[in-house]
Amino acid sequence: MNFREAKIVTRFDYKNLVRSAPGVTFLILYLYVAINLGAWLAEQLRGTATLGGGANVDPEMARQATNSLLVKIVSWFLGGKDEVVRFLVFDRPVAMSAFFLLSLLVMPILVLFLSFNQISGYVSRRSIRYIVPKTGRLELYLGLFASNLLFFSLVSGALTAVMTVGWVLASKDVGTGVVVGYSLQILAAVWLSCIPIIALMSMLAAMTGSPVATVFLGLGTYLVVILAGYFMSAQTEWGKVFYYLLPLEPKYWFAYPSVGHFIGAGALMLLYAAAYLALGWLFLRRRNL
């Protein structure tokens, strides 16, 4: 593995990604949709309770809040885990918690549309034949993965910066420190939960060699894993194993109160990413380009 060559590939592809029509469109639409979603959630906060005050929450406000849409969203995601729901509703700004959980659900799916054109673009255009003599396949494969990750980091970083300003301006009862700290936690969690998906798309791109097929296969994999997990878990206890083919369940550990859960979820995300990348490499290593 030549890190210098991988770095050159990353820099070159990152520049291309930022300048490409899908890159620019993704950047604008992603920020626009996410900000409006966050703003809508913040709007729900008005008239119920700002919460985030821990033990000082007024019981009447708490009663109102438990009927609010935001609490229903949080409870839906973490059904049965009452202590986590209580933590997210009463110890954290509830609108931010709802945004956090919705981001964990939606962002990995949006990332499927960002990272489909990795090595598959070069394979389908046959331009990979001119690149491979200059650099190794592994360097190219990992370099393209890194450039997609870098681009996603830029977008999610920009989003978090804008959202943090908005949250600080909108929430009067919650301290700036709490808002900024929670924003950083959301950024880290969403970023980590998207790494395996970018790696999954790297693997699928190496398998198919076509950007269109990569998108459809990525979406199909998501859908099949969810449906198979749902139906199989209804039949047998072991059916739940299907859910773990993708990091669907563990990503919600990021929202748990303990630091241990956060670190465990982060480590698991990196493990998933490494497994997908390794599988993709097995295909690409001997593929006829």
Partner 1 sequence: MYRPSGLTALAVFNFVLAGWGLLKLLGVAIVLAAGTPKGAQGQPPPQFLMLLTLGYLIFDIGLMVTAGIGYLKLKRFLGRWVGSIEAVVSLAYFVAVVAYVQSEGIPFDVRNLSALVYPGLTLVLLNIVFRENLVH
Residue ranges that bind partner 1, judged by CB under 8 A: 18-21, 23-25, 27-28, 31-32, 35-36, 38-40, 42-43, 46, 162-163, 165-167, 169-170
User: Of the two residues 32 and 231, which places its CB atom closer to partner 1 in the complex?
Assistant: 32
User: Of the two residues 140 and 163, which places its CB atom closer to partner 1 in the complex?
Assistant: 163
User: Of the two residues 26 and 272, which places its CB atom closer to partner 1 in the complex?
Assistant: 26
SS (H, E, C) 204-220: HHHHHCCHHHHHHHHHH
CA distance 54 to 157: 28
Shortest Cβ 94–partner 1 spacing (Å)? 15
Shortest Cβ 82–partner 1 spacing (Å)? 29
- Whether the Cβ atoms of residue 96 and residue 51 lie closer than 8 Å to each other: no
CA distance 63 to 268: 37
User: Of the two residues 33 and 274, which places its CB atom closer to partner 1 in the complex?
Assistant: 33
User: Of the two residues 122 and 242, which places its CB atom closer to partner 1 in the complex?
Assistant: 122
CA distance 73 to 88: 11
Name the token pair of 154.
């830029």
Question: Any alpha helices (H) in the chain, and if so which ranges?
Answer: 3-19, 21-45, 59-66, 69-77, 82-86, 94-114, 119-124, 128-131, 137-170, 176-208, 211-235, 259-285
Give 43's DSSP letter. Answer: H
Shortest Cβ 28–partner 1 spacing (Å)? 6
Shortest Cβ 136–partner 1 spacing (Å)? 28
- Whether the Cβ atoms of residue 189 and residue 262 lie closer than 8 Å to each other: yes
User: Of the two residues 47 and 80, which places its CB atom closer to partner 1 in the complex?
Assistant: 47
Q: What's the CA angle centered on 125, arms 120 and 126, to 5 degrees?
A: 95
- Whether the Cβ atoms of residue 157 and residue 215 lie closer than 8 Å to each other: no
Shortest Cβ 263–partner 1 spacing (Å)? 31
Shortest Cβ 48–partner 1 spacing (Å)? 15
